[in-house]
Structure 1
Amino acid sequence: MSSDWFISDANYASQHEIEGYASATSINRGESINLYVNTVDPSYTITIYRMGWYGGAGGRRVAGPITRSGSRQPACALDASVRLVECNWTNPYVLSVPHNTADPTDWASGIYLAKLTGSSGKQSYIIFTVRDDNRSTALLFQQSVTTYAAYNYYGGYSIYGEGSIGGVAAYKVSFNRPYLNLQRPSSGKGAGDFFSWEAKALRFLEREGYDLAYATNIDTETLPMSLRQHKAFLSVGHDEYWTRGMRDSIESARNAGVHLAFLGANNGYWQVRLEPGQFDGRPRRNMVAYKFSAPSLDPQYNSNPAEATYLFRGAPVNRPEASLIGVMYDYNSVDLDMVISDCTSLAWICRQTGLQAGSVLKGLLGYEVDRVDASSPAGITVIAASPYMVGTERRYANMTYYTHGSGAGVFATGSMQWNWGLDDFGERADRVNPAVQQMTRNVLNRFVN
């Protein structure tokens, strides 16, 4: 156990004193990963931690500190035609992860942080996931890395105009660059969206002792059958950007009886494509997202409409999110209370929570919220109907549950801030809520037992 993994705001390398990225978003146990580092310091160390509960410490050191000579890496290339920023750094530290078949806790599947510390004292993270593809577990925790990439402004461009150079969005973004999310505290410290959403759920789930394996949503596309090795699949964070393959994999798992839980909101909203890196040739290192410009600019919009990088719910994709998830994105940004509407139809889901119709979960509605739709499955139960205003119009965000014909249960909170109720680490520590924790237990325990 160690709390040494934590980087304070004061020590974060906010001026690019030290930064890095990994050659892959995930690796299987027994594989290796390259860690690329750029620093102004003459030397630095790498210390690697597995994130978890660990008695409240939040992490366990598994390697390091490893001392390396520092060097400045070349400027990252810009493809101005699509505003793609992609780095081609050299001299990586090659981390080989052992595969100890006798001990699954040795480099166990999980989310790992490589903490970079320059000789000046400035620090940042490189984040990656370790899988265990041969091990079946009760729950599969998905890290939503495509959304990390979407909101990554490193080099001046993300797929959002706000914050990008000249207010113009990129149409392609690369994993071959450090994470720099301007919307997160201290820009995420190199760890993307992890601390804002997924870290809280991870700490809760590991504290509760659930049998977990970890993967990214890129693995959801590349290893579709692996979802069936688990009783339930958890989309945990800000899971907004999916490929067609990701959607197919999750639907197929549900149809095979794998339970699904969506703990965030705005899931599977945009369809994207993945392409190889332009320099390293590694598969799925660049993400294509033309979004609202797709009808005029996406070369596959007309030639291969099933792969168009457009709204899942819109033509030509025509796969509304609610038909799978139960709910679909409606609005941002709100910061309000969640209101329970039905604890009777599915009494088990509210067991030992003290909740009933009209109960309020303070501060857990937002910042993005979902609603039911005409495409939601028949027989869906609305557990929460939380009011909010858009101008003079009153709308309702929904938490839902339905059972698919395969027997799979599908739970969706309809709110990004549900995760804030699970654990008091980091942002909004005051929002932790025992009723949210118990309802989450009720759902997951039903899935795994």
Structure 2
Amino acid sequence: MNSTDLKNTAARGERPGANVIVSQTSGPRQAARETWVEVPCESGPAAAWCYSDRRAYNPGDSVCLYLSSNRPHVRLRIYRDGAIARTLHTTDSLDARFHPIPERAYEHGCQWPVFMQWSIPADAEQGGYIVEVRDGDDSVLGHHLFIVKALCKRADALVLVAATSTWAAYNDWGGANHYFGVHPGTPRGRSPLLSAQRPWARGQVWLPADAPRCVNATRPRTPGPARYEFIEWASLNGYAKYYALAGWASYERPFVLWAEQQGYTVHILTQDDLHHDPHALEGYACAVFIGHDEYWTREMRDHVDAFVEEGGKVARFAGNFMWQIRLEDEGRRQVAYKYDAGALDPVAATEPHRLTGAWEDPRVNHPGATTFGVNALRGIYASFGGMAPRSPRGYTVFRPKHWAFMGTGLGYADMFADEANLFGYEVDGLEYTFVDGLPEPLYTDGAPCGLQILAMGWATNAEHGRSEDAYSFMLGDGDARFRASILAPDLSDASIDMHSRGAGMVVHFHKGRGEVFTAATCEWVHGLMQADIYTVMITNNVLERFLRNT
């Protein structure tokens, strides 16, 4: 080979990625325990990061966009996300700059200068709006999302409350979230304080159609290590580790697409709106919660409870109703000390009912079941990593004569949506017993009087497997220990074992002049995405009945 050939990459069989830096490791990797966070780098791969001054706007409002990029020029496209994307605004090439982030940007926000302002048209349709950022080569550099609220409320429209507090909790952009990161002095570097003034993590706003979901596509057929397919994919493709666990792209967007294709009108609010406005749900007949809605303020719950008491209907197709949080600085900062709340939350001694811990904590004393009929501590994981990976992935029906099952043909002990991986990754349940073959609430954990358990499945708070596979466990039995520390008199092995057992439920109850239907699993929306006939029929039965207000 001559010198010309040596300079010819094709002649050398050169592969793409010649500028990739090789990582060095020593010893075994840590499987799903390994973590990474998104921190922008001027010399890194081409990217842009964007956030807005608020999460939701009214038609006619002005949106302030803050943007940083390591590319010199960008173009923006703003479109309404839906089955058919509708573009409302595009820009020519704009000069962009890279802005360093301040220390602990995840806590204090980015503090970037305004990049551009955009006035939402007065006739803009309600929905989720994507800001897509491209470079001069037309490569996509990043995405941002904001909500445009309906100009006028309609009783015949569903009002979907986007789980923005849970999105924020899983957003590791800038160095930390409520789970892990680089925050000093906390377990796994998680931050109890998170700013709303920062971009969403990669994968929370937009995903390719083939991105894995949080429940593995198939059950393992042999013993082996725990697998988290979505984490493996995220690691290989440069997405946030927990992209599949919270965000518009994984949960609210698929529901909106399905609902609009079914002919429903969907208005969207954020949890910020629900927190700040006691009248946010007024004027609607049916409020919907979808996917993963783990984090709530007391004010949010109060406003949902008042809506139901006054005759509103709630359809919750979501799982993991777990933590009380607080919003500070006019909603720009979210507070959640979680497992460390008793020791670290500043209000622990003075306002224990405001403690940012589990709703079932006796100090908080506001059982989750009083709002949605179920709670996370009695449920949690199913078909997730090493947590019951071979368990059924559908609900078993126990009260087939209930109106929610009308027209389905389902009978006692039938299962639905197992093929759609509907039951998981986190579910909610209750303390219960069986009477004559039917599950009945024990009413020891806040379940409203008259609540019916319509369908069930089983869950766990601990990973199990062979000792040689323990290296692959991401969560171990930590949640079982936490539950036992709150609900049990001791932390003996027997107590931890007992508190590792849970259940996921579909429940229905009346409260005041309203009523609540909860299908307590995060992945209910996947049944709709898969067009599972039973999931679709049950969802339509609930929504149509609640919209008719019958």
Report the alpha carbon displacement of residue 67 of structure 1 after superposing the two structures with TM: 3.2
1:372 aligns with 2:430: yes
3-state DSSP of counterpart to 1:303: coil
State, as a whole percentage, how many aligned pairs show the same letter: 26
3-state DSSP of counterpart to 1:87: coil
Change (3 A) 1:43 1:206: same
Instruction: Mark the structure with the bigger radius of gyration.
Output: 2
Alignment of 1:291-302 (within 5 A): 291-302=338-349
Report the alpha carbon displacement of residue 395 of structure 1 after superposing the two structures with TM: 4.3
Report the alpha carbon displacement of residue 163 of structure 1 after superposing the two structures with TM: 8.1
Indicate if the aligned counterparts of 1:74 and 1:88 stay in contact, CA closer than 8 A.
no
Provide TM-score, normalisation by structure 1. 0.84
The counterpart of 1:404, out of the listed 511, 515, 521, is 511
Indicate if the aligned counterparts of 2:46 and 2:141 stay in contact, CA closer than 8 A.
no
Indicate if the aligned counterparts of 2:352 and 2:364 stay in contact, CA closer than 8 A.
yes
The counterpart of 1:217, out of the listed 262, 271, 282, is 271
1:115 aligned partner: 132
The counterpart of 1:25, out of the listed 55, 69, 72, is 55
The counterpart of 2:88, out of the listed 62, 66, 84, is 62
1:351 aligned partner: 406
Residues in 2 aligned to 1:297 and 1:72: alpha-carbon distance in whole angstroms? 36
Report the alpha carbon displacement of residue 305 of structure 1 after superposing the two structures with TM: 2.5
Report the alpha carbon displacement of residue 341 of structure 1 after superposing the two structures with TM: 2.3
Indicate if the aligned counterparts of 1:307 and 1:317 stay in contact, CA closer than 8 A.
yes
Report the alpha carbon displacement of residue 253 of structure 1 after superposing the two structures with TM: 0.6
1:338 aligned partner: 394
Change (3 A) 1:167 1:229: same
Change (3 A) 1:169 1:43: same
1:75 aligns with 2:85: no
Residues in 2 aligned to 1:192 and 1:265: alpha-carbon distance in whole angstroms? 11
Which amino acid in structure 1 is aligned with residue 406 of structure 2?
A: R
Report the alpha carbon displacement of residue 93 of structure 1 after superposing the two structures with TM: 1.4
Query: Number of residues paired by the alignment?
Result: 410
Which amino acid in structure 2 is aligned with residue 86 of structure 1?
A: G
Change (3 A) 1:191 1:240: closer
1:145 aligns with 2:143: no
Residues in 2 aligned to 1:304 and 1:243: alpha-carbon distance in whole angstroms? 14
2:388 aligned partner: none
1:136 aligns with 2:154: yes
3-state DSSP of counterpart to 2:397: coil
2:177 aligned partner: 158
Alignment of 1:426-445 (within 5 A): 432-445=531-544
Alignment of 1:26-425 (within 5 A): 26-54=56-84, 59-78=85-104, 84-100=107-123, 107-120=124-137, 121-132=139-150, 134-137=152-155, 138-161=157-180, 167-180=188-201, 185=234, 186-187=239-240, 193-267=247-321, 269-276=322-329, 283-329=330-376, 330-335=379-384, 336-346=392-402, 348-360=403-415, 361-362=417-418, 363-373=421-431, 374=444, 375-388=446-459, 395-406=502-513, 408-424=514-530
3-state DSSP of counterpart to 1:387: strand
Residues in 2 aligned to 1:133 and 1:220: alpha-carbon distance in whole angstroms? 16
Indicate if the aligned counterparts of 2:64 and 2:114 stay in contact, CA closer than 8 A.
no
Which amino acid in structure 2 is aligned with residue 49 of structure 1?
A: Y
Write out per-residue CA displacement over residues 70-123 of structure 1, whole angstroms, 9 at most, x where no aligned residue: 1111323327xxx725210113211111223xxxxxx11111111111225242
Report the alpha carbon displacement of residue 15 of structure 1 after superposing the two structures with TM: 4.2
Which amino acid in structure 2 is aligned with residue 371 of structure 1?
A: G
Residues in 2 aligned to 1:368 and 1:163: alpha-carbon distance in whole angstroms? 26
1:5 aligned partner: none
Write out per-residue CA displacement over residues 263-308 of structure 1, whole angstroms, 9 at most, x where no aligned residue: 11012x21111122xxxxxx21111111122222211222223322
Residues in 2 aligned to 1:192 and 1:328: alpha-carbon distance in whole angstroms? 18
- Aligned CA RMSD, in angstroms, stands at 2.7
Indicate if the aligned counterparts of 1:126 and 1:191 stay in contact, CA closer than 8 A.
no
Residues in 1 aligned to 2:244 and 2:457: alpha-carbon distance in whole angstroms? 34
Residues in 2 aligned to 1:382 and 1:43: alpha-carbon distance in whole angstroms? 56
Report the alpha carbon displacement of residue 192 of structure 1 after superposing the two structures with TM: 6.2
Residues in 1 aligned to 2:292 and 2:92: alpha-carbon distance in whole angstroms? 32
3-state DSSP of counterpart to 2:449: coil
Report the alpha carbon displacement of residue 388 of structure 1 after superposing the two structures with TM: 4.1
For structure 2, the residue ranges without an aligned partner over 5 or more in a row are 1-16, 18-39, 204-229, 385-391, 432-443, 465-496
Report the alpha carbon displacement of residue 142 of structure 1 after superposing the two structures with TM: 0.9
Report the alpha carbon displacement of residue 387 of structure 1 after superposing the two structures with TM: 2.9
Report the alpha carbon displacement of residue 169 of structure 1 after superposing the two structures with TM: 1.0
Which amino acid in structure 1 is aligned with residue 509 of structure 2?
A: Y
Change (3 A) 1:23 1:285: same
Change (3 A) 1:141 1:433: same
Change (3 A) 1:412 1:371: same
For structure 1, the residue ranges without an aligned partner over 5 or more in a row are 1-9, 101-106, 277-282, 425-431
Which amino acid in structure 2 is aligned with residue 334 of structure 1?
A: S
Write out per-residue CA displacement over residues 213-234 of structure 1, whole angstroms, 9 at most, x where no aligned residue: 1110110111221202100111
Write out per-residue CA displacement over residues 325-356 of structure 1, whole angstroms, 9 at most, x where no aligned residue: 0111122252542233234341x211222322
Indicate if the aligned counterparts of 1:232 and 1:448 stay in contact, CA closer than 8 A.
yes
Residues in 2 aligned to 1:44 and 1:189: alpha-carbon distance in whole angstroms? 25
Indicate if the aligned counterparts of 1:343 and 1:355 stay in contact, CA closer than 8 A.
no
Indicate if the aligned counterparts of 1:203 and 1:423 stay in contact, CA closer than 8 A.
no
Report the alpha carbon displacement of residue 52 of structure 1 after superposing the two structures with TM: 2.2
Indicate if the aligned counterparts of 2:382 and 2:424 stay in contact, CA closer than 8 A.
yes
Report the alpha carbon displacement of residue 43 of structure 1 after superposing the two structures with TM: 0.8
Report the alpha carbon displacement of residue 401 of structure 1 after superposing the two structures with TM: 1.0
Write out per-residue CA displacement over residues 12-56 of structure 1, whole angstroms, 9 at most, x where no aligned residue: x994621111111111122111111111111111111112233xx
